[in-house]
């Protein structure tokens, strides 16, 4: 596979890797705290809360990475926004289904579940900030400058200085 020319691709891949590591840590810590607070119900509530938050946050990053594969195609912009919007709609529908399924479960401790989701979202935002602050992306990205000096808008030397242009007075009068 050829590397994507889109400058956001390495950033998003790094976010996915770091988010996976942080999710693993949160699942471990949340599971232990949930178990200590509410027994096995707390353990499962914390694990499900961390995994739900990580899954939803990963869908957005994955949808952008998938959409970036169409970079350079004439239909890139509508395809990109269609895929990303489809990912958001998918997250919304799956979120409703998960809440309906988990709503009456006797093994869910609502407080532990809620706190696990909130902590996971905050940790994901922290990962996003740290990755974006550390990555080096040029100010003008995804632009290729011409390598051939004859390509582009090139003028002859006198024309650049404002001399010898047709219809322009050079400031000297000829009598």
CA distances from 77 to 65, 86, 91 (A): 14, 14, 21
Kindly give, in sequence order, each residue whose CB lies less than 8 Å from that of residue 53, ignoring residues fewer than 6 positions away. Answer: 116, 117, 120, 121, 124
Q: How far apart are CA 110 and CA 105, in angstroms?
A: 10
List, for residues 93-130, the tens digit of each pLDDT value.
998 999 899 888 999 999 999 999 999 999 988 998 88
pTM of the full structure: 0.69
What is the C-alpha R_g of the chain? 27
pLDDT at 29 over 60: yes
User: Do the beta carbons of residue 103 and residue 33 sit within 8 Å?
Assistant: no
Residue among 143, 4, 140 nearest 64 (CA) = 4
Specify the range with the lowest mean pLDDT, choosing from 19-23, 46-50, 100-104, 133-137: 133-137
User: Do the beta carbons of residue 53 and residue 125 sit within 8 Å?
Assistant: no
């Amino acid at each position: 596979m050829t590397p994507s020319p889109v400058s956001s691709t390495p950033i998003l891949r790094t976010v996915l890797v770091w988010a996976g590591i942080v999710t693993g840590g949160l699942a471990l810590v949340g599971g232990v705290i949930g178990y200590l607070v509410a027994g096995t119900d707390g353990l499962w509530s914390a694990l499900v809360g961390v995994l739900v938050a990580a899954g939803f946050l990963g869908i957005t990053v994955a949808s952008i990475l998938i959409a970036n594969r169409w970079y350079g195609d004439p239909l890139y912009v509508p395809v990109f926004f269609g895929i990303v919007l489809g990912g958001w709609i998918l997250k919304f529908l799956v979120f409703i289904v998960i809440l309906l399924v988990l709503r009456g479960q006797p093994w869910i401790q609502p407080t532990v579940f809620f706190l696990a989701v909130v902590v996971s979202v905050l940790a994901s935002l922290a990962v996003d900030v740290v990755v974006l602050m550390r990555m080096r992306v040029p100010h003008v990205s995804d632009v290729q400058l011409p390598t051939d000096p004859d390509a582009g808008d090139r003028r002859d030397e006198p024309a650049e200085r404002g001399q010898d242009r047709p219809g322009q007075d050079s400031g000297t009068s000829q009598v």
